[in-house]
């Protein structure tokens, strides 16, 4: 048996100390997805984000509102109360808050106490998702929300899903950026044996980390081949761009075509997936997924097939990451990770997250 030497282990731990992990503080100054837009309506939705309990709702005019889910009086969760018009009434003693979070009524006393209320948070709706800013309000800038135009484009057909992931969002991002796992964790779904060995190029920018992988020629697994009509084609190309866009957002773009046909004469198919990671606690993550394609938009069977089969792969990630989180938590101080060349991007990304958090 060749266990790593103490020197290797010491080196591994020194390297890890510069990387974000499950113990790294949250990055508050960032836009995160709070919910799918259609989750938030005229009732009170309870959701924990970045360790804080929030309550979300819409006013009568449809404006989304997010506020701390804790009455200032006796800490009763507002989400257990009532939405009354555009105000929230605490279910314990009836304190009433307006959409700005100001307490405007305390029924048991003649005069409502002055200058009390709960914090509200800037929200911004972009297509199917609602973004929230939980950092310094003075820094909230909607133009900083990573734009994914295709998610709002009616020329794209979409499907969405959600996981209550039992893992830190750090490991989800690392999973997304290190796609060599497709040949193993996803051997029976979206991966193929040749995926891991296919050539890649990396791009590192300011808070952006991208990997482009070219798998060609290849035989596509059914989840890709069926909806594109490339089933059985031995000369398929699969060009994948994986990009970390922010601590909250990750985009995968896959381009598929038959490389035996010359450019211009062949059909090309684009499939995009937005992976939206919103930390709930240090070891749980709201994992929102949006899946889109630019072809066969009206083909409900294709939508159904792709949703079913892609989410089988995401199920694998969620199960694997939950298992990983459990092992990492259990190891505590004993833990060490030995990185290899293919981890370069993930390591750079985790160093970036660590820098943003400190």
| Binds a second copy (CB under 8 A): choice among 15, 116, 140, 252 | 116
Minimum distance from CB of 213 to a second copy (Å)? 11
Give the total of residues touching a second copy (CB under 8 A).
64
Letters for 207-226 (x = contact with a second copy by CB under 8 A, - = none) are --------------------
Residues 25-54, interacting with a second copy (CB under 8 A): 53
Task: Determine the 3-state secondary structure of 92 from DSSP.
Answer: coil
What is the largest distance, in Å, between two alpha-carbon atoms of the chain?
Answer: 80
Q: What's the CA gap between 112 and 97, in Å, rounded?
A: 11
- For 198-251, give the DSSP string: S-EEEEEETTEEEEEEEEEEE---HHHHHHHT-TT-TTEEEEEEEEEEETTEEE
Q: What's the CA gap between 75 and 73, in Å, rounded?
A: 6
Site for a second copy contains 161 (CB under 8 A): no
Q: Residue 203 forms beta bridges with which residues?
A: 210
| Binds a second copy (CB under 8 A): choice among 270, 339, 348, 357 | 339
| Binds a second copy (CB under 8 A): choice among 15, 29, 37, 80 | 80
Query: What angle (nearest 5°) sits at the alpha carbon of residue 260, between those of residues 255 and 265?
Result: 75
**By C-beta, is 1 or 138 nearer to a second copy?**
1
Residues 175-204, interacting with a second copy (CB under 8 A): 178, 180-181, 183-185, 196-197
Q: What's the CA gap between 342 and 347, in Å, rounded?
A: 9
Site for a second copy contains 106 (CB under 8 A): yes
**By C-beta, is 10 or 266 nearer to a second copy?**
10
* Chain centroid, CA 302 distance in Å: 24
Residues that bind a second copy (CB under 8 A): 1-5, 8, 53, 67, 70, 72-77, 80-81, 89-94, 100-103, 106-110, 113, 115-120, 174, 178, 180-181, 183-185, 196-197, 320, 323-324, 327-328, 330-331, 335-343
């Amino acid at each position: 048996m060749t266990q790593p030497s103490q020197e290797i282990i010491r080196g591994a731990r020194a390297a890890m100390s510069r990387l974000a992990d499950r113990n790294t503080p949250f990055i508050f100054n960032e836009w995160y997805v709070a919910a799918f837009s259609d989750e938030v309506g005229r009732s009170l939705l309870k959701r924990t984000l970045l360790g804080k309990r929030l309550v979300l709702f819409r006013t009568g005019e449809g404006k989304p509102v997010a506020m701390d889910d804790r009455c200032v009086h006796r800490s009763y969760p507002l989400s257990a109360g009532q939405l009354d018009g555009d105000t929230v009434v605490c279910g314990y003693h009836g304190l009433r808050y307006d959409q700005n979070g100001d307490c405007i009524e305390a029924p048991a006393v003649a005069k409502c106490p002055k200058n009390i209320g709960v914090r509200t948070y800037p929200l911004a709706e972009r297509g199917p998702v609602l973004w929230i800013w939980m950092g310094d309000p003075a820094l909230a800038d909607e133009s900083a929300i990573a734009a994914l135009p295709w998610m709002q484009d009616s020329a794209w057909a979409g499907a969405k899903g959600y996981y209550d992931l039992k893992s830190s969002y750090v490991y989800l991002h690392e999973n997304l950026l290190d796609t060599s796992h497709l040949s193993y964790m996803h051997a029976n779904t979206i991966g193929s044996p040749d995926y891991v060995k296919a050539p890649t190029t990396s791009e590192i920018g300011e808070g952006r980390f991208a990997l482009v992988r070219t798998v060609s020629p290849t035989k596509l697994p059914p989840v890709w081949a069926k909806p594109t009509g490339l089933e059985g084609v031995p000369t398929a190309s699969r060009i994948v761009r994986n990009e970390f866009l922010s601590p909250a957002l990750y985009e995968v773009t896959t381009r598929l075509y038959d490389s035996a046909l010359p450019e211009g004469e062949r059909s090309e198919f684009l499939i995009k997936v937005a992976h939206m990671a919103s930390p709930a606690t240090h070891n749980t993550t709201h994992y929102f997924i949006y899946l889109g394609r630019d072809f066969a938009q009206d083909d409900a069977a294709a939508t159904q097939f792709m949703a079913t089969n892609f989410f089988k792969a995401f199920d694998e990630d969620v199960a694997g990451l939950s298992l990983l989180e459990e092992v990492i938590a259990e190891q505590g101080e004993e833990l060490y990770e030995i990185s290899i060349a293919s981890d370069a991007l993930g390591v750079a990304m985790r160093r970036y997250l660590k820098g943003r958090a400190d």
